[in-house]
Amino acid sequence: MDDVFIPDSLTKKECLCYNGDMISHRRGFTLVEVSLFLAITSLIFVGIVAGTQNSIYQQRYNDAVQSFADFLRNNYSQVLNVQSEGAGSSDDVIYGRIITFGNNGDDDKVISYSVIGKDTGGGVGGGALGRIITAGSHVGKREDISVGLVDAGLTESYIPKWGSKIQFKNDGSFDLFKGAIMIIRHPETGTVYTYVTDKHVESGWKLGEEIVEGEFEEKAIDLCVNPDGETVGGDGPRKDVRVVANARNVSGVVLVPDDDASNGCK
């Protein structure tokens, strides 16, 4: 038998000599080691996926909150930069906008209408709300002598993004908001006023009849954007979109910080 040369770099555990043949032998992974590797890899993968999903969820929610705030601000811009909007008569005046929530049994839908009434002329005096009631103003309608009420002005529909709901805090619990926000300009001074009511408002209603003057108040309202509708409990995350008391322009719509003591959606 010829002598078998074993390189110094190989240890006795790394080679076997059998009948003069050198057999290289290297140790592999055990079943336990493979299982442990797969388990750790799975945990890392799950963590990455969960983190990504949470990031997407948070971004969608922030988008929903910002979109709703922009919708409210856009209505103020329309009041400040009023156009004829096809009211259809020189005797009709567009006094502002009214934003209604929970329309026609659809809890998600928000609809804004023009507030349209007759031109009463100057010198009447009185507050802005009293003036548009005197003008016989209707929600999204104008009076036509021949046919009665007809659609007029600009009507816009808005549905909160990503399944979010617009709520308000009521005696410690969160309820869907089904009231209205009215933004109007005083006919003489041009000053913008904001009024809020908890009562439901529909297209065609006449201010001062279907809507009693006392139901609208010059007060702030905290609208809570709930990312999961009514399914989230009292501790669920809700961003506060506030319309300040008697807001005059787009700056009256405020995103209240979560850590603000005045946050109305905690």
Rounded-to-integer distance, Cα 140 and Cα 130, Å: 18
Give the pLDDT score at 48.
73
Distance CA 200, CA 244 (A): 20
What residue spans define the domains of the chain?
51-256
Confidence check: pLDDT of 244 > 80: yes
The confidence score (pLDDT) of residue 195 equals 94
Single pTM value for the model: 0.77
CB 230 within 8 A of CB 210: no
For the residues 192-199, what does the mean pLDDT come to? 92
Write down the mean pLDDT value for the chain.
80
pLDDT band at 99 (very low <50, low <70, confident <90, very high): very high
Q: Is the dihedral of CA 256, 259, 260, 262 positive or negative?
A: positive
Burial class of residue 59 in the structure, from the number of CB atoms within 10 Å of its CB (0-12 exposed, 13-18 middle, 19+ buried)? exposed
State the greatest distance between any 2 C-alpha atoms of the chain, in Å, as a whole number.
127
What's the confidence (pLDDT) of residue 40?
85
Rg, Å, the chain Cα set: 34
Taking only the tens place, the pLDDT of each residue in 202-234 is 899 998 877 776 789 999 999 999 886 544 444
